[in-house]
Amino acid sequence: MTADFLGLSGVHVLLTGASGGIGIATAREFLEQGAKVTLHYNSNPDSLNSLVAAYPSHA
């Protein structure tokens, strides 16, 4: 897939429940499509560290 397959380049996404398995996978897909993503979590911020490190300018 290309980076703009869904036309998300420049779009800002607010993702709730981001620290769970589905949330992390969803965030990764949005990030790979070029969206800027705000990640919201309730109790497990450590699970997001690798995702934020992989996309420092988008997450």
pLDDT in tens, 22-59: 999 999 999 988 899 999 988 888 888 888 899 888 76
Query: Would you give the DSSP letter of residue 48?
Result: G
Q: Is 33 left (phi over 0), alpha (psi -120 to 50) or beta?
A: alpha
The domain spans of the chain are 1-34
Question: If we measure between CA atoms, which residue out of 42, 44, 43, 24 comes closest to residue 59?
Answer: 24
pTM of the model: 0.77
Q: Between 4 and 20, whose confidence is greater?
A: 20
Tokens coding 55: 């996309």
Question: If we measure between CA atoms, which residue out of 59, 40, 42 comes closest to residue 50?
Answer: 59
pLDDT score, position 10: 85
